[in-house]
Amino acid sequence: MDRKINAAAFKARCLALIDEVAESGQPITITKRGKAKVQVVAVRDKPKTLWGATKGTFKIKGDIVGPIVEDWDADREWRIYHGQFDDPPAGYAYDPVADRAGAKTRKIGQAGMRRRPRRK
């Protein structure tokens, strides 16, 4: 709800109205001859950085450091990450590179057949 007040009344109670806006957060519109001229709003402090901006907005429940699953194996994870698999990776039924080895690549706008040269 926007509260309106005359400029003369605002001038008489300026400091009290500023304190009221700062505490409640409700803006006050100052009018002059019935027309809105100025709006007094409370200033909200913004965090200086994003680091710590969400502090206090959520809670951590449980263990956030330990593994999610019970049978997690750190050594196996290390081997998979470095390419040392327990079993060899599955092979392809066909070699996709060999199937396209003889095919020519075609430009997108190129037609399938050649045009005749223009007559002069």
pTM metric for this prediction? 0.39
pLDDT in tens, the chain (120 residues): 679 999 999 999 999 999 999 998 899 999 999 999 999 999 887 766 777 777 888 888 887 887 677 776 777 777 777 777 666 656 655 555 555 555 565 555 555 566 677 776
Q: What residue ranges in the chain does DSSP mark as E strands?
A: 3-6, 28-32, 35-40
| One-letter amino acid of 67 | P
Edge-to-edge strand list for the sheet holding 3-6: 3-6, 28-32, 35-40
